[in-house]
Chain A
């Protein structure tokens, strides 16, 4: 059974304090690992897709990396506007996604 586990559940950072979020996955044949951002009261917003171990994607202060068993979302010098819940997912049947429970990030000034 495909499984996605995210850690930590919640993370509090000071502005400028870099850190990483973890997503470990168990799938038979990865067909895509996805990162989304979700703000309160809104739908998830796409950030990255990764397919192969060693692959990296960057966007502003965020960088996603992938190994054979896990993915990391690195946040460099975060700002308060980076506060959100970050969701990790793997592609399953068709183009459906199996999501982890998310990491709630709070960045304080």
Chain B
């Protein structure tokens, strides 16, 4: 499928378990991002990546790990899930080369994660 996809769309897990959320984009965009969205906080940046093997922390990185071995994939891992990580997670991508005047980010459909 063309575009940006996330899997799973819904996940229920227990405190202390490791969880990996997947993000895949077909545009070969260099930049990819992970955000979480919570009531009262809006969208907050967790991590971002400028290219394969280049990642950087955002506003709320604690408890999360990312990797980017291939341009099209950007998985987000919760090493030991906590209840405070219950949220909706959005992946996004952009390329400064394809739309330099606009620089829009394209968002995936989101993953709703519940940590019990």
Contact = CB atoms under 8 A, between A and B. Distances in A.
* 3 pairs of A and B residues whose beta carbons are closest in the complex: A43-B107, A46-B104, A101-B42
Given A94-B48, A94-B50, A101-B42, A45 B33 contact: no
Given A43-B110, A44-B90, A34 B43 contact: no
A45 B103 contact: no
A30 B48 CA distance: 20
Interface of B: 31, 33, 35, 40-45, 48, 50, 56, 58-59, 90, 92, 94, 96, 101-110
Contacts of A89: 43
Contact of A43 (B50, B58, B90): B90
A89 B42 CA distance: 11
Question: Chain A interface: which size bin?
Answer: 20 to 34
A89 B59 CA distance: 14
Contact of B107 (A41, A45, A98): A45
Contacts, number: 61
B43 A99 contact: yes
17 contacts: A34-B105, A43-B90, A43-B109, A44-B107, A49-B102, A89-B43, A93-B48, A94-B31, A95-B94, A96-B45, A96-B48, A96-B58, A97-B43, A98-B45, A98-B59, A99-B35, A99-B42
Contact of B108 (A32, A43, A95, A102): A43
Nearest to A92: B45
Interface in A72-109: 87, 89, 91-102
A32 B103 CA distance: 9
B43 A87 contact: yes
Nearest to A31: B103
Contacts of A94: 31, 48, 50, 56
A59 interface: no
Contacts of B48: 93-96
